[in-house]
Amino acid sequence: MGTANAPVKSSERFQLIKEELLSSPVYLDTERAHIITEFYRKHDRRSDPMVVRKAKAFHFLFTHKSAVIYPHELIVGNVGSKRISAIMQPELSGVYMSVDLPWIERRRTTPLRISWREKLRLILRVIPYWSTRNMLFRALPKPGHLIRYVRDQ
């Protein structure tokens, strides 16, 4: 293993990254959801074409997103703010995963770590905004279809 001043060999570097990835927990990352929600809440212009609105949201996301460089990485960047993250895309249909929010860290399949503070922030700030502003809501405009879908999920 390399010291602080000595270079780390490629295979050793790869092994260190692999070990860290395999030992890291998986988090439900809410950073993207908060940033995108802030953009649409405060800066979105509904008169712009949708492609322009999405481009502006993308720009806002990447000018506000945290950047973490982990040890031994030569190519950096991550979709989430944690080492291993599942991101939320509330503008699509990600808000419907909120039904699992109270027990998401105890699910049998793909449990995701998230603090109660972050859960509360989602419940109070993100989910209400997107509850009627997402693709699923538009695809199932009749209340009966939407209710059946949510129940089936």
Q: Is residue 54 part of a domain?
A: yes
Calpha distance 68→31 (Å, rounded): 13
Helix (H) or strand (E) run with residue 57 in it: helix 50-64
Decide: 26 and 105 in contact? Cβ < 8 Å: no
Q: Is residue 42 part of a domain?
A: yes
Q: Helix, strand, or coil here: 27?
A: strand
Cβ-in-10-Å burial (0-12, 13-18, 19+) of 127 comes to buried
* Angle, CA of 19, 23 and 24, to the nearest 5°: 115
Q: Is residue 9 part of a domain?
A: no
Q: Is residue 12 part of a domain?
A: no
Q: Is residue 5 part of a domain?
A: no
The Cα-based distances of 149 to 99, 122, 152 in angstroms read 12, 21, 5
Domain that includes residue 111, residue range? 25-152
Q: Nearest 5°: phi and psi at 76?
A: -115, 165
> Against a cut of 0.95, is the pTM above it?
no
**Residue-level pLDDT at 95:** 67
Number of domains in the chain: 1
Helix (H) or strand (E) run with residue 85 in it: strand 85-87
User: How would residue 9 be classed by pLDDT, with cut points 50, 70 and 90?
Assistant: confident
Q: Is residue 2 part of a domain?
A: no
- Pick the residue with more confidence: 49 or 92? 49
Q: Is residue 94 part of a domain?
A: yes
**Residue-level pLDDT at 5:** 63
For residue 56, what are its two tokens?
């502006």
Please state the separation of Cα 149 from the chain's center in Å.
23
For the cut 70, the answer to whether the pLDDT of residue 2 exceeds it is no
Calpha distance 143→136 (Å, rounded): 12
Mean pLDDT of 23-29: 94
Q: Is residue 69 part of a domain?
A: yes
Number of Cβ within 10 Å of residue 52's Cβ equals 11
